[in-house]
């Protein structure tokens, strides 16, 4: 078993209000400790904002600016430019936003910021729904999932943010999960070393939102990757694809059936999802072969 | 008095750009919209010529522009931006956010009709409908005044730690050429100290902003903003007074013009003041005792100054180039409220004049005066034209 | 008016919020026993020494092993492996080859010439051990380590008991046996071979001379089949057969030998006879899957050309001149009883058959020699009765091994010897017996996160090809090469034995697991009781405990 070795710089404090077992808090812990103290974060309304804490307490040691839901990327651009105007070019500017504030209401500002190749690392904590407001659907919610606003199952597919960001041909786009900590840390370090716009989507299984027990977050993320539902890969400059896993080793059923939000799935729907994943995987393998 | 000031022929927009340039902002985020675009273009020209050392961000919408302005301001740099009508409205959420976050941004708004339907004409509904957002608001009558007010605005904003909105009417001010005295850089540098906020987003300081608050904290914060607004009146007067001392031009927070022994005073804001000033002079020449009360500072509404200025005046005619459906002219409402309960309060008449950009020439204004003088005011604002 | 925190600009941290108040269960970093550990008759700390192998700290592995078992090169060859069937790995793919790994370390110790740490005589009392077989030898080792002087008596010319006189060389080479025993003796043991202690007065004399006496004389009296005439020259008792061949003497027999019995002794006889050129048939009461012999032994015997007739019994023997023996046999249903040693046999009608042979070697088990002891100590059936501290009915007399149990396994005997040392020490110190420790729940596969243990094939047991074993008494089972041993050690889950992988530390969203010098602790100020640390532990060393406040 490969052992983890991640420096813990105590940039994330205990006492935060994340749900027990929340792997978004876990992702924040390791992302912050990898980035280091010379960082400013922009956070919209989201679970991340709740985890940051209530006035006058903060669970992050670095400065955090909480902006409105649509405007994370714009606000981060403002911070970035203001720091640059003061000659502080080494300070890292990051966004930690949910899928709502990234795929939907925040999408416009994000596309604009990356089109300008703003120098920031944008982390999307993708828990596939508006979890902070009680688990309603977002455009990141996958097909057939039951949510607060799609109780019969969502009829539309999940938007592919990674491919959209890759189409903007920004220096670095990647996917990651908190179950694959060494991979996540390595990607954060790599992103930090590249100037320009960098977007990393981190899959966050949400325990109440997806219908998982408190201790299942890591296992769910691992299965998402092993089944190919959330492949780990990187795209540099919109052209060079690197697949970070050599195979997908399990049927999607193993991942889907452990979540309450998929319990109503019919056999036909399950087959359809498997076929879609198989096709997407084959495309990804081909793209990364040409790199 | 004005060491090496320069005289130029400038439109209101270009005058605003010059004012902004002289204030040395470090960050501007702008989205173009008619009739504001020349401001943005002039500023980018200055930057390209190496005459303006600032980050200029051109995001995809005004909402994002204001979002970036707020965070940049809180990261510790002086911020300027400009917009108009739809853009201002799109920023509405962020206007509240800016004042709540105590970000001392200065913004110029070019007053233009608000859709729907689509139109491009002077109308102040866009800015007066933002009067609850916590921004200090000033209204300019000329290109010169616009330039001077932009510079004054930074001093006010940074003193009370509150954002400031300067308004100038579309085309009448924004696009009309005027001779303008552009002060020397050294003058402005003496007038505006470097921006050094008490709190800033900085990894070395470790402070954060935006965490959720309790009801008591929120209430206290609103009181704090209220206090800043109260202090803004004195700050605006002081800034204007100091500017007057430096360059010889001051405008006051209100300007009573030929109101001594006036029988009727016309109260209005923005470019209409120029027309009324002209009308007053003409009518006075024919022996009519009329005056102009120019309202320059609209937020905070200068209640005490207005009560002082209008005490004993028999009739006040408010000319509103704006319309709030279901309530009428906004200056009309605000003035009635401000003067309520005053002993020897004037009769207040409210006319909706120039809404939608309809032209209001001096002759018309004289007609309005004749219509209302000595008569009982209608309760509601009266449509003209 | 009380001072209030400012509404904007945040400077404090959330550490003032003790989220530990949220939880209803708290993880505990413990060391629950692994199933292999519980099953091991010598209480071996198996997961710990396997982890040493994984870290290539072979000497540390050996030191851990010999703490409980001083004979790893012996048990690494012949232990009946009670640890491997409950091995949790077996529920993922195949159990860990624990015995093979033990042999790997034991053999390395012999190659490297490692010796036991010094054990100086530190106590005044001397202990007598009667019987130099497995139980006695183990007791000698452990008593020496506790600082006692030990005198070891054995009736035979050499020590070892069944290890030497019973188990054949192809299973346990003599060079190995001698080296393992010599190492114990090097601690300083007073050895009195060729000395029989058998009568009551022999024992009483010993008792007066020594502070305590440990009796481990084994079971050497053959059980007898009533249907066999043991006075006949064509009946050779199995112990006798093996003693002769192990001494290098060919037992006199005909060409065709029938071995009666299904246990290890029967296999030893059969395979020895085969090597001596005989045609061998084994007649076992039990059906093949139920034969008490180790499965490997049965398979290796069959590979060597031994014919197995299982589930059948001998009814009578006829001695036909010029034709040899005719064994009348019949198929049976064999049912093991509830108590070890009890069974029920039902002949199946119309299944009679004849086996032709020249010699019959019955190997159906042995009983202890009790003639001298029965006046001294209380018996229980054909065994000496002992309590849970191995004390007999007479104070100062302890007994163990085959003398007191029907569990006739070498490792069980080693376990008896080890426990005897502890009990004798306790007896000599204070006389009060030990309190029974509360049973700790063992680690089950459910608490092992097998995601961290990728599937790997178990290291195969290499055997000398059957054709080459024909006339040779060389070892049949080969040891694991170093590379394979290392790979095999990685298959161990390390149940209940933390490997310091830091998973719990890194996977806690609340930073509520602290790294300590020798493990981890839970910060109960902040732990929300989510259980991620428990779920992601690859060894089951953190468990959840409900909390009541």
Contact present, A128 and A138 (Cβ < 8 Å): yes
For residue A145, the model assigns a pLDDT of 94
Contact present, A53 and A25 (Cβ < 8 Å): no
CATH number of residue C169's parent domain:
3.50.50.60
For residue C433, the model assigns a pLDDT of 65
DSSP A29-52: HHHHHHH-SSEEEEE-SSHHHHHH
C252 and C334 share one domain: yes
Residue C35 main-chain phi, psi, to 5 deg? -60, -30
Find the domain containing B334 and state its range.
254-383
Domain end (from B247, B266, B287):
B247
Average pLDDT over every residue of C126-136: 97
Q: Which chains touch A (3 or more CB pairs under 8 A)?
A: B, C
Q: What's the Cα-to-Cα distance from C174 to each of C167, C455, C474, rounded to whole Å?
A: 10, 38, 10
Beta-carbon contacts of B164 under 8 Å, excluding residues fewer than 6 positions away, are B104, B105, B106, B107, B135, B136, B137, B138, B153, B154, B156, B157
B-chain CB neighbours of A113 within 8 Å are 59
B17 and B163 share one domain: yes
C239 and C344 share one domain: yes
Cis ω for the linkage preceding C441 (within 30 of 0): no
Condensed to tens digits (0 to 9), the pLDDT of residues C230-256 reads 999 999 999 999 999 988 899 999 999
Please give the share of chain C, as a percent, with pLDDT higher than 90. Answer: 87
Domain end (from C313, C335, C363):
C363
Average pLDDT over every residue of C50-54: 96
Q: Is A50 part of a structural domain of the chain?
A: yes
C522 interfaces chain A, CB cutoff of 8 Å: no
Beta-carbon contacts of C239 under 8 Å, excluding residues fewer than 6 positions away, are C165, C166, C220, C222, C265, C366
User: Could you tell me the pLDDT band of residue C549, with boundaries at 50, 70 and 90?
Assistant: low
* pTM for the predicted model, two decimal places: 0.90
Q: State chain B's mean pLDDT as an integer.
A: 97
Q: Spell out the per-residue pLDDT of chain B, length 385, in tens.
A: 456 899 999 999 999 999 999 999 999 999 999 999 999 999 999 999 999 999 999 999 999 999 999 999 999 999 999 999 999 999 999 999 999 999 999 999 999 999 999 999 999 999 999 999 999 999 999 999 999 999 999 999 999 999 999 999 999 999 999 999 999 999 999 999 999 999 999 999 999 999 999 999 999 999 999 999 999 999 999 999 999 999 999 999 999 999 999 999 999 999 999 999 999 999 999 999 999 999 999 999 999 999 999 999 999 999 999 999 999 999 999 999 999 999 989 999 999 999 999 999 999 999 999 999 989 999 999 999 7
Q: Is the pLDDT of residue A169 over 90?
A: yes
Find the domain containing A85 and state its range.
23-289
C237 and C358 share one domain: yes
Q: Is B284 part of a structural domain of the chain?
A: yes
Residue in C with minimal Cα distance to B223: C7
Find the domain containing C210 and state its range.
126-220+368-429
Domain end (from B192, B214, B247):
B247
Q: Is the pLDDT of residue C439 over 80?
A: no
Q: Is A2 part of a structural domain of the chain?
A: no
B270 and B360 share one domain: yes
B360 and B339 share one domain: yes
B215 interfaces chain A, CB cutoff of 8 Å: no
**How many residue pairs bridge chain A and chain C with CB atoms within 8 Å of each other?**
117
Query: Reduced to 3 states, what is the DSSP secondary structure of residue B118?
Result: coil
Domains of chain A: total: 1
For residue C1, the model assigns a pLDDT of 45
User: Could you tell me the pLDDT band of residue A16, with boundaries at 50, 70 and 90?
Assistant: very high
B-chain CB neighbours of A53 within 8 Å are 211
Contact present, A138 and A100 (Cβ < 8 Å): yes
B81 and B101 share one domain: yes
A-chain CB neighbours of B27 within 8 Å are 78, 81-82, 85
B323 interfaces chain A, CB cutoff of 8 Å: no
Q: Is C442 part of a structural domain of the chain?
A: no
For residue C470, the model assigns a pLDDT of 83
Q: Is C455 part of a structural domain of the chain?
A: no
- Please give the DSSP secondary-structure letter assigned to residue C391: B
C234 and C340 share one domain: yes
Average pLDDT over every residue of C272-284: 96
Complex prediction ipTM: 0.95
Domain end (from C337, C363, C389):
C363
Q: Is the pLDDT of residue A143 over 60?
A: yes
C312 and C423 share one domain: no
User: Could you tell me the pLDDT band of residue A5, with boundaries at 50, 70 and 90?
Assistant: confident
Q: Is C9 part of a structural domain of the chain?
A: no
Radius of gyration of chain B (CA): 20
B130 and B82 share one domain: yes
Q: Is C61 part of a structural domain of the chain?
A: yes
Domain end (from B196, B222, B247):
B247
For residue C335, the model assigns a pLDDT of 87
B233 and B366 share one domain: no
| Angstrom distance (rounded) from CA C417 to CA C406 | 16
Instruction: Please identify among residues 6-65 of chain C the ones whose CB lies closer than 8 Å to any CB of chain B.
Output: 6-11
CATH number of residue C508's parent domain:
3.30.70.20
For residue C431, the model assigns a pLDDT of 64
B276 and B312 share one domain: yes
B380 interfaces chain A, CB cutoff of 8 Å: no
B105 and B239 share one domain: yes
Q: State chain A's mean pLDDT as an integer.
A: 96
C181 and C265 share one domain: no
Domains of chain C: total: 4
Q: Is A241 part of a structural domain of the chain?
A: yes
Q: Is B305 part of a structural domain of the chain?
A: yes
Q: Is B1 part of a structural domain of the chain?
A: no
User: Could you tell me the pLDDT band of residue C547, with boundaries at 50, 70 and 90?
Assistant: confident
C-chain CB neighbours of B206 within 8 Å are 11
Residue in B with minimal Cα distance to A39: B203
C97's enclosing H/E stretch is none
C328 and C266 share one domain: yes
C506 and C529 share one domain: yes
**Helix C295-303 vs helix C264-275: crossing angle, to nearest 10:** 20
Rounded to the nearest angstrom, the gap between the alpha carbon of residue B158 and the centroid of all alpha carbons in its chain is: 16
Query: Which of C4, C7, C9 is opposite residue B199, by nearest beta carbon?
Result: C9
Q: Is C119 part of a structural domain of the chain?
A: no
CATH number of residue B62's parent domain:
3.40.50.970
Edge to edge, the sheet with strand B254-257 lists B254-257, B290-295, B264-268, B315-320, B347-352, B382-383
Condensed to tens digits (0 to 9), the pLDDT of residues B20-66 reads 999 999 999 999 999 999 999 999 999 999 999 999 999 999 999 99
B155's enclosing H/E stretch is helix B143-160
C-chain CB neighbours of B216 within 8 Å are 4
For residue C150, the model assigns a pLDDT of 97
Domains of chain B: total: 2
For residue C402, the model assigns a pLDDT of 96
B243 and B273 share one domain: no
The 3-state secondary structure of B41-95, one letter per residue: HHHHHHHHCCCCCCEEECCCCHHHHHHHHHHHHHCCCCEEEEEEHHHHHHCHHHH
CATH number of residue A184's parent domain:
3.40.50.970
Q: Is B151 part of a structural domain of the chain?
A: yes
Q: Do C530 and A20 lie within an 8 Å CB cutoff?
A: yes
End-to-end CA distance of chain A: 29
B287 and B236 share one domain: no
Q: Is the pLDDT of residue C4 over 90?
A: no
CATH number of residue B266's parent domain:
3.40.50.920
Average pLDDT over every residue of A187-212: 97
End-to-end CA distance of chain B: 45
Average pLDDT over every residue of C12-20: 94
Q: Is B205 part of a structural domain of the chain?
A: yes
B164 and B268 share one domain: no
The CA distance from A133 to the nearest CA of chain B, in Å, is: 15
A-chain CB neighbours of B67 within 8 Å are 67-68, 70-71, 74-75, 78, 109
For residue B356, the model assigns a pLDDT of 96
Q: Is B341 part of a structural domain of the chain?
A: yes
Condensed to tens digits (0 to 9), the pLDDT of residues C514-525 reads 999 989 999 999
CATH number of residue C44's parent domain:
1.10.1060.10
Q: Is the pLDDT of residue C106 over 80?
A: yes
Q: State chain C's mean pLDDT as an integer.
A: 93
How many other C-beta atoms can be found within 10 angstroms of the C-beta atom of residue A173? 29
Q: Do A63 and B72 lie within an 8 Å CB cutoff?
A: no
A186's enclosing H/E stretch is helix A181-192
For residue C342, the model assigns a pLDDT of 80
Domain end (from C344, C363, C382):
C363
Contact present, B277 and B257 (Cβ < 8 Å): yes
């Amino acid at each position: 078993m490969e052992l983890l070795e991640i420096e813990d710089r105590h940039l994330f404090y205990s006492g935060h209000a994340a749900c027990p077992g929340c792997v978004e808090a876990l992702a924040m812990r390791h992302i912050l400790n990898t980035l280091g103290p010379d960082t400013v974060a922009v956070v919209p309304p989201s679970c991340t904002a709740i985890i940051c804490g209530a006035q006058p307490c903060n669970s992050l040691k670095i400065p955090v600016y909480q902006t409105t839901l649509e405007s994370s990327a714009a606000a981060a651009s403002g911070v970035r430019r203001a720091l640059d105007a003061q000659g502080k070019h080494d300070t890292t500017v990051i966004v930690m936003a949910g899928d709502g504030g990234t795929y939907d209401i925040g999408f416009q500002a994000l596309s604009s910021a990356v089109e300008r190749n703003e120098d920031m690392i944008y982390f999307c904590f993708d828990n596939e729904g508006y979890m902070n407001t009680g688990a309603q659907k977002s455009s990141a919610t996958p097909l057939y999932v039951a949510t607060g606003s799609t109780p019969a199952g969502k009829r539309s597919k999940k938007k592919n943010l990674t491919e959209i960001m890759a189409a903007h041909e920004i220096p670095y786009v990647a996917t990651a999960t908190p179950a694959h900590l060494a991979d996540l840390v390595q990607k954060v370090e790599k992103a930090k070393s590249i100037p320009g716009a960098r977007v990393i989507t981190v899959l966050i299984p949400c325990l109440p939102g997806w219908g998982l027990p408190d201790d299942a977050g890591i296992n769910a993320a691992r299965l998402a990757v092993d089944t190919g539902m959330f492949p780990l890969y990187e795209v540099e400059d919109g052209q060079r694809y690197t697949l970070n896993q050599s195979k997908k080793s399990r049927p999607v059923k193993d991942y889907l059936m452990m979540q309450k939000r998929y319990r109503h799935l019919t056999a036909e729907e399950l087959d359809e999802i498997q076929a879609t994943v198989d096709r997407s995987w084959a495309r990804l393998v081909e793209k990364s072969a040409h790199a | 008095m004005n060491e090496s000031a320069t005289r130029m022929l400038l439109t209101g927009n270009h005058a605003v750009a010059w004012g902004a340039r002289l204030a040395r902002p470090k960050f501007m985020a702008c989205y173009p919209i008619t009739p504001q675009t020349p401001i943005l273009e002039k500023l980018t020209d200055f930057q390209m010529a190496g005459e303006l050392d600032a980050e200029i961000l051109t995001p995809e919408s005004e909402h994002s522009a204001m979002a970036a302005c707020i965070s940049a301001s809180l990261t510790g740099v002086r911020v300027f931006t400009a917009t108009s009508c739809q853009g201002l409205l799109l920023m509405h959420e962020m206007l509240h956010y800016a004042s709540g976050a105590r970000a001392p941004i200065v913004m110029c708004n070019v007053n233009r009709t608000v859709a729907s339907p689509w139109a491009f004409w002077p109308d102040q509904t866009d800015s007066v409908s933002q009067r609850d957002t916590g921004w200090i608001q000033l209204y300019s009558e000329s290109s010169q005044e616009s330039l001077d007010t932009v510079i004054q605005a930074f001093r006010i904003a940074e003193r009370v730690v509150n954002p400031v909105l300067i308004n100038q009417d579309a085309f009448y001010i924004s696009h009309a050429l005027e001779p303008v005295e552009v002060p020397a850089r050294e003058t402005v540098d003496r007038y505006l100290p470097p921006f050094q906020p008490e709190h800033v987003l900085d990894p070395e300081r470790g402070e954060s902003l935006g965490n959720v608050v309790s009801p008591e904290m929120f209430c206290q914060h609103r009181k704090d903003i209220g206090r800043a607004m109260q202090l803004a009146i004195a700050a605006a007067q002081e800034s204007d007074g100091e500017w007057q001392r430096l360059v010889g031009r001051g405008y006051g927070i209100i300007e009573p013009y030929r109101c001594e022994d006036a029988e009727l005073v016309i109260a209005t804001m923005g470019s209409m003041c120029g027309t009324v000033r002209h009308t007053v002079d003409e009518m006075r020449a024919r022996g009519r005792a009329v005056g102009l009360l120019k309202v320059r500072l609209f937020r905070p509404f200068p209640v005490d100054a207005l009560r002082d200025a209008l005490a004993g005046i028999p009739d006040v005619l408010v000319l509103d180039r704006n319309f709030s459906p279901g309530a009428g002219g906004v200056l009309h409402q605000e003035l009635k409220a401000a003067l309520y309960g005053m002993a020897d309060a004037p009769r207040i008449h409210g006319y909706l004049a120039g809404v939608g950009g309809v032209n209001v020439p001096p002759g018309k204004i004289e007609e309005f005066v004749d219509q209302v003088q000595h008569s009982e005011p209608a309760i509601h604002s009266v449509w003209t034209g | 008016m009380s001072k209030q925190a400012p509404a904007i600009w945040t400077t404090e941290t959330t550490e003032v919020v003790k989220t530990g108040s949220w939880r209803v269960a708290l993880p505990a970093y413990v060391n629950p026993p692994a199933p292999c550990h519980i099953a091991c008759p010598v209480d071996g700390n198996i997961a710990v020494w396997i982890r040493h192998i994984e870290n290539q700290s072979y000497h540390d592995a050996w030191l851990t092993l010999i703490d409980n078992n001083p004979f790893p090169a012996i048990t690494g060859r012949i232990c009946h492996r009670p640890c491997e069937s409950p091995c949790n790995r077996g529920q993922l793919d195949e159990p860990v080859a624990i015995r093979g790994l033990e042999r790997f370390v034991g053999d390395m110790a012999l190659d490297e010439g490692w010796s036991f740490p010094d054990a100086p005589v530190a106590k005044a009392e001397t202990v007598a051990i009667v019987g130099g077989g497995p139980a006695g030898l183990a007791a000698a080792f452990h008593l020496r380590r506790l600082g006692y002087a030990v005198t070891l008596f054995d009736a035979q010319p050499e020590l070892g008991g069944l290890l030497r006189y019973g188990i054949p060389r192809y299973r346990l080479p003599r060079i190995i046996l001698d080296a393992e025993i010599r190492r114990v003796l090097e601690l300083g043991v007073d050895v009195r071979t060729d000395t029989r202690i058998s009568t009551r007065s022999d024992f009483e004399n010993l008792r007066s001379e020594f502070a305590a006496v440990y009796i481990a004389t084994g079971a050497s009296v053959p059980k007898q089949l009533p249907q066999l005439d043991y006075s006949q020259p064509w009946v050779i008792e199995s112990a006798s057969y093996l003693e002769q061949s192990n001494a290098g003497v060919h037992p006199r027999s005909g060409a065709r030998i029938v071995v009666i019995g299904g246990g290890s002794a029967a296999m030893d006889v059969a395979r020895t006879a085969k090597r001596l050129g005989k045609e061998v048939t084994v007649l076992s009461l039990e059906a093949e899957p139920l034969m008490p012999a180790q499965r490997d032994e049965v398979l290796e015997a069959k590979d060597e050309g031994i014919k197995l007739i299982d589930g059948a019994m001998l009814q009578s023997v006829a001695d036909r001149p010029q034709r040899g023996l005719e064994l009348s046999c019949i198929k049976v249903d064999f049912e093991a009883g509830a108590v070890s040693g009890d069974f029920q046999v039902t002949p199946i009608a119309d299944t009679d058959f004849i086996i032709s042979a020249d010699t019959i070697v019955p190997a159906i088990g042995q009983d202890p020699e009790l003639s001298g002891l029965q006046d001294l100590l209380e018996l229980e059936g054909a065994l000496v009765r002992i309590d849970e501290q191995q004390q007999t009915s007479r104070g100062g007399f302890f007994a163990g091994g085959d003398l007191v149990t029907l569990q006739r396994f070498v490792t069980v005997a080693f376990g008896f010897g080890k426990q005897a040392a502890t009990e004798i020490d306790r007896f000599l110190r204070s006389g009060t017996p030990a309190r029974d420790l509360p049973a700790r729940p063992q680690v089950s596969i459910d608490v092992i996160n097998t995601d961290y243990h990728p599937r790997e094939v178990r290291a195969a047991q290499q055997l000398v090809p059957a054709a080459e074993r024909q006339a040779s008494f060389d070892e049949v089972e080969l040891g694991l090469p170093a590379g394979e041993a290392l790979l095999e050690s990685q298959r161990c889950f390390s149940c209940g034995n933390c490997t310091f992988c830091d998973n719990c530390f890194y996977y806690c969203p609340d930073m509520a697991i602290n790294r300590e010098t020798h493990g981890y602790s839970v910060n109960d100020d902040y732990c929300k009781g989510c259980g991620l640390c428990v779920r992601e532990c690859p060894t089951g060393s953190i468990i959840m405990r409900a909390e009541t406040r």
